Structure 1
């Protein structure tokens, strides 16, 4: 039995947090002893869902007027202080740059594993230094896709094994088969869904422009946006998006974070799932949509080609992206696409193939390779 400590930067339903919890539970099913540590903000006393492994939350009290950069550095310091008193484990595995810095400050980097889900870009010098340290110092890096591993190799000269990502495909497939999407369709009618909130990396501004282009062709359907809790302050970008939406006559329905039991139904009820992200490491939310049998339209990025080829409709990146994305959405919403049933079958099979138990075995092999 291996004693494993997984650490993540939040209790909220962000991709890396979903990954951490599901991986911890799969490693436990494989017979190992796992504890998950996380930073807890805003008075949170637990994760966004029930968790079947032991957890330890480190509270980050709110300080009015504190900058994002200062809050992140304080979060790292608070987590490092708590970790300094943690008992010994066989594997320390950080899931992001914040927890990698905290683990390193508490116990050094010599035996630390860090997963790179995607690569961020920071402008504040202190955050740039934290990001760099979390890529250079850990003993081993893991990546969730070949595309991210290639970025790590090109940018930092480090070879990082690809361990992939999992998805709870059955949960979303069952929601679809049980009709859990019906209440959402009754509420919104046919709707286009985006998950992840309004932020630059999610390509929300381009999506608003695409929805306006779609409406101009006579296909005016609601855009529903779910999720969005993040460490960073994207208020200026959100203001830009809402101003653009108002000028184009688009009225996005912004749900914010959706309760975990309700999410599969929300996904299953969508007429199309929009995935216009400008940067991703894997695309967990889109994989969940495929598991529910929902057509996905994605920006044509190398990482998404790697993960989703044959299962989604791609819109060419670059100039004219909004019109191209609207073209693909129109093709989904109009029906009559002879290739749609085959694409749906491929998508369901692809999602089902990403088992968390398989992902756990890949992690265990990577841990063994470090020793």
Structure 2
């Protein structure tokens, strides 16, 4: 089976991590896999090495000074769509074209779409883009049942639920190797870690408030923030975060993206992992922390309760978050977390995807769908019932 997986970036964001790991697992099971992406600012490859069994196609997207977020997203769609159409016009055919986000779902005419989580947008240009990314694909995947329920409620669709895999062994090994985490502990001492950058969806300001309260009891704690590569402009939120940190007397260590090989040691070395996102599809970073034997604080979203059950501590406002952080630091992880992480393998996820692909190929009209999977984005698209463009209602997050 020949499969194209499309993603929006080469940077270490959750959807991109998912795409690469799924591609490699599919290839190990015998599929012929190509990953398509957009290379922003001169990137010609991903943030980590990719298994040579997987072909990689990067469509260059040069930086344009002063470009708005909306314009950058539209240009990303055009560039990826044109590159993909050129390749298919040259005779390359795929049995399945699977978009992992709304940018790539807009770039190709017909595809399977993974909806990782839903969010809200009000800009008409982006709302229309997001709507097309839901209604135009002919099949849908969600990585949790909670998000699948939201998609069904909003659009009347029935996504197939295939949970994420986790590269758990990397984090298990880091936890067992003192040398992996020792440089981070030497640098920061005892630290609370969050991965994903400083942005509204990650709830970083809430974590800052909770950390400041917890540090009144445990003044030796430091706050470390890793990751943060994004298409969006969160400068206003970052300025508010920085100002509030000064008011609270907290000096966070903001690392930005961390090298792929160094990340497990950073996670394994923390005293607690803060995962207080306001929207998530699965919680891959928190699952990695469980694999490393680290105690996790999570916001009690339905999706996170579904995925993590009783293996993490939950809190939803700054005082209860502070209390939960102190429990994490003082009492350690809850039982069974590492076992949960080890259960979520990429081989299991890849087999479920292959089963889905096979079922789609057996449906009436499958041959016509394959013939229609080339060409750049088409501006007109059907909308779901009762969902006019530009209403600002719940929409799939992009990316």
Please tell me the TM-score bracket, short chain as reference. over 0.9
> Is the deviation greater in 202-211 or in 326-335?
326-335
Distance 2:113 2:348 in 1: 19
Q: Mind listing any 5+ residue stretches in structure 2 that lack a counterpart? A: 362-399
Instruction: Give the secondary-structure state (helix, strand or coil) at the position aligned to 2:359.
Output: helix
Give the structure 2 partner of residue 329 of structure 1. 325
Give the structure 1 partner of residue 57 of structure 2. 56
Distance 2:137 2:218 in 1: 53
Q: Does 1:101 align with 2:97?
A: no
Distance 2:184 2:218 in 1: 22
For 1:1-371, what aligned pairs fall within 5 Å after superposition? 2-52=1-51, 53-86=54-87, 87-104=92-109, 109=110, 112-179=111-178, 180-315=180-315, 317=316, 321-335=317-331, 340=333, 343-344=334-335, 346-371=336-361
| Shift in Å, 1:75 | 0.7
Distance 1:152 1:219 in 2: 44
> Relative contact order: is structure 1 or structure 2 higher (C-alpha 8 Å, sep ≥ 6)?
2
CA contact (8 A) 1:268 1:293 kept: yes
Residues 27 and 218 of structure 1, relative CA distance in 2, 3 Å threshold: closer
| Shift in Å, 1:242 | 0.7
Distance 2:321 2:298 in 1: 8
Distance 2:11 2:81 in 1: 20
Q: Where has structure 1 moved over 4 Å in runs of 4 or more?
A: none
Q: Mind listing any 5+ residue stretches in structure 1 that lack a counterpart? A: none
| Shift in Å, 1:368 | 1.4
CA contact (8 A) 2:119 2:279 kept: no
C-alpha deviations, 1:129-154, integer Å up to 9, x for none? 01000101100010000011001001
Q: How many residues align?
A: 354
Distance 1:172 1:215 in 2: 27
Instruction: Give the secondary-structure state (helix, strand or coil) at the position aligned to 2:86.
Output: coil
| Shift in Å, 1:233 | 0.6
CA contact (8 A) 2:295 2:329 kept: no
TM-score of the aligned structures, taking structure 1 as reference length: 0.94
| Shift in Å, 1:182 | 1.2
Instruction: Give the secondary-structure state (helix, strand or coil) at the position aligned to 2:97.
Output: strand
Distance 1:178 1:211 in 2: 28
CA contact (8 A) 2:148 2:161 kept: yes
CA contact (8 A) 1:173 1:292 kept: yes
| Shift in Å, 1:220 | 4.5
| Shift in Å, 1:59 | 0.9
